Amino acid sequence: MIAPSTSSMETQAKLVVESPFSNLSSSIVSTLDNSLKQFSHRSSLRFQTLATRRRISLSAAATTPGPSPIQDEHRKPPDLQTLMRRFWKVAVPYWSSDDKVQARLQLAAVFALTLGTTGITVGFSFLGRDFYNALANKDQQQFTKQLLYYLAGFAGGIPFFVLRDYAREKLSLRWRSWMTSYYMDRYLKNKTFYKIQSQSTIDNPDQRIVDDLSSFTGTALSFSLTLFNAAIDLISFSNILYGIFPPLFVVLLAYSLGGTAISIFLGRGLVNLNFLQEKKEADFRYGLVRVRENAESIAFYGGEENEMQLLLTRFRSAFENLNQLLISSRNLEFFTNGYRYLIQILPAAVVAPMYFSGKVEFGVINQSVSAFNHILGDFSLIVYQFQAISAFSAVIDRLGEFDDVLDSSNGKGHRDSKEEIQLSFCLISCSNGLDSNGSMPLSKRVKLLHVEHLTVQTPSEATLIKDLSFEIFEKDHLLVTGPSGSGKTSLLRAVAGLWSFGNGAITVYVRAGGDLDIPHSADVVSHQVASINETVGNSTGRRNSEGVIFLPQKPYMVLGTLRQQLLYPIWTEDPDNLSDGAKQSDSLPFLTHARDARCVNEKPKKPTSDDLIQVLNDVSLGHLLSRFDGLDSTHEWSSVLSLGEQQRLAFGRLLLSKPTLALLDESTSALDEANEARLYQLIQAAGITYISIGHRRTLYKYHKKVLHVYTADRTTAQHNWSFKDVEEDPKYNFSWQ
């Protein structure tokens, strides 16, 4: 959310840091009362400065560029009903969660302190009346007495204001921590993060988790306290104002209703402009992070000029939107500033005739001004805080949209299950199906993969592979070949559970924990799952624990030590991998991720340091130990290691985790033939069955089956693939030459 103007931003920043008892000028009491009023609205005003600081700092990188600028320009702001629905949906879960007892107790304490500050403000209103009466009557003794009362009020009132803000900030932090854990769990569950990135469902999910959640929790609490304070103010000061001069109510009501209507009219476009500004600035940050992540490639290409143009285009889009936002804010400020300053003299002008006629004392004028300001401020929250409300509405809109996407991705039935690839995991059992003498027939082999009538499509429903059927048994290493774009990688994604577009069935037979010991029976106990979403959704580590690992062409390098690179993804998340400092600072229970007990129980035994060193030597990476000072050194591994070294490191992970089935997507493309041969020999010796995608003829040596995929022909219904033994392929003999 963008602050409307520099002047207003500075004013609001000043209000945030001021003491409620500062700026004593012409009269102690009048300024004190105004400062107390400012302090009561501090909660909502602080949102502007928080948003400003957040925009100035570079936050986490965006993960998807999001919709096109054309879509942005035609985006309609949400209506009030949608905003309220989204606010309720985002806000409610925490207050009914496992942390609800602590949350409700802290919220009650915050409201109690807020009630106390309101009582202090009312008390100062009466002190101000007596103080001014003593001053007008030139009663020095009474004046000194009232001044001492004020000093006592300072000492007793300041702790209430400070503790109220401290309690609110603590509750806001606790709420944000819970919501961060809650949203990250849903974001990573069921491969939702992958779907959002691959389908560009929404823009910048990272920004919504980091920035928008922080703004939402802090501002929701602040506005809640402001509304509560306004309600108490209204009740307290209405009595005072009505007792002074009832016609002031009529003036107050007409003034506040008219001001609210004009503010809504002048600021009606701010919600959408704030929403777009968040997105456009996140897109600009995303472009900068892309330059950092691909610095070497850009430097090799000499693409600095192109990147400069792309970045300036994104920044110009943010600049133009911000310019429109400033214009709208300027128009609103013209009115709100005049509205705010006019009320300083309006109540005094109405009550002055009564003072001149001797019907009221001078102190009553000050009290009427104070009461009028308080009540009008309560009636005029929309006028005073319209820019903050519009900015907060944009946050609600973004989080609500994100929440809807998470529900859709994690829910059932968002697509017809008949139109999805059905993925099932079956656990191989060694307790059933033995012959009468207790032995297994020699003719039986262990089936690992069964593909039935599989049709793979793109999200736009273009067919890649038609009606594919085959079976893979243990050690039937399969090579998948074909022209680029024919659907080879999409096939592996479907087997891995990342691709659901198409139809047909895939059954993966695995042993729990990736145990590769040959069982005495090839019978299986089926663990049938209705859809791919349910299959993958059980746990983020579910597929790994079931013994299927995917190696992409460019391996993923985690943020951590060399040890963690090798242990990923099976053991890296163990609590014993955290530093002592990290454990001690984790005081909230929901900030500790509880792993699926099934995954924990089925994980292989964690390798020792000697095991890790041996694997590094096996994959010809032993030199990394001396180059980077051992296993516990931390570097930006994707930058300091070549692609060939990263691919060998990925094979080291594979050897340590020992899966039942490995899916290799051109995983040796950056290696020479000698290293390629060594790695394939290592995983063969480890008893790992693998399916490889590749174009080199040398790969035929390390496989027993070959699947050729051809570019699909839309004019025919015939399948576009062939499956055979590798010895039957003409390229096999050629590969030995």
98-407 with 420-427+444-512+538-573+601-723: one CATH topology? Answer: no
Class of domain 420-427+444-512+538-573+601-723: alpha beta
Distance between CA atoms of 465 and 409, rounded to whole angstroms? 25
Tell me the helix, strand and coil percentages in the chain, rounded to 5. Answer: 60, 10, 30
What's the confidence (pLDDT) of residue 604?
Answer: 67
What pLDDT does 505 receive? 93
Q: Is the dihedral of CA 197, 201, 202, 207 positive or negative?
A: negative
Triad 90, 94, 96: Cα angle to 5°: 115
98-407: CATH superfamily = ABC transporter type 1, transmembrane domain (1.20.1560.10)
Instruction: Please name the helix (run of DSSP H) or strand (run of DSSP E) that holds residue 132, with its range, or none.
Output: helix 100-136
* CA atoms of 395 and 501, how far apart (whole Å): 33
What would the 3-class secondary structure string for 559-579 be? CCEHHHHHHCCCCCCCHHHCC
Assigned token pair, 534: 């349910």
Residue 2's identity, in one-letter code, is: I
Quote the CA–CA distance of 200 and 437 in Å, as a whole number. 58
Q: What is the Cα–Cα distance from 646 to 642, expressed in whole angstroms?
A: 6
Mean pLDDT in order along the chain per 10 residues (737 residues): 36 33 36 41 39 37 41 61 88 91 92 85 76 79 82 82 90 92 89 81 84 89 83 73 68 75 78 80 84 78 83 89 86 79 71 75 70 70 70 86 85 55 76 42 73 90 91 93 90 87 89 44 34 35 63 88 88 49 56 57 76 94 92 88 93 91 92 93 93 90 92 80 86 56
CB-facing half-sphere around the CA of 171: CA atoms within 13 A: 26
Contact by Cβ (8 Å): 691, 492:
yes
> Which residues, including other chains, have CB under 8 Å from residue 323's CB and lie 6 or more apart?
none
Nearest Cα neighbor of 367 from 160, 123, 38 is: 123
Pairing state of beta strands 705-709 and 502-510? Answer: unpaired
Residues 6 or more apart from 74 whose CB is under 8 A from it?
Answer: none
Nearest-angstrom CA–CA distance, 418 and 149: 78
Give the tokens for residue 579.
């530093």
Sequence ranges of the domains in the chain: 98-407, 420-427+444-512+538-573+601-723
> What does the buried/exposed string (b/e) look like for 51-67 if buried means 16 or more CB atoms within 10 Å of the residue's CB?
bbebbeeebebbbbbbe
In whole angstroms, how large is the CA radius of gyration of the chain?
34
**202: CB partners within 8 A, 6+ apart:** 64, 66, 196, 208, 401, 402, 405
Measured in whole angstroms, the distance separating CA 51 from the mean position of its chain's CA atoms is 17
Name, in order, each residue with C-beta under 8 angstroms of 303's C-beta and a sequence gap of 6 or more.
none
pTM of the model: 0.67
CA distance 123 to 490: 72
Residue of 232, 29, 242 whose CA lies nearest to 134: 29
Residue 571 is predicted with a pLDDT of 75
- pLDDT, residue 500, reads 85
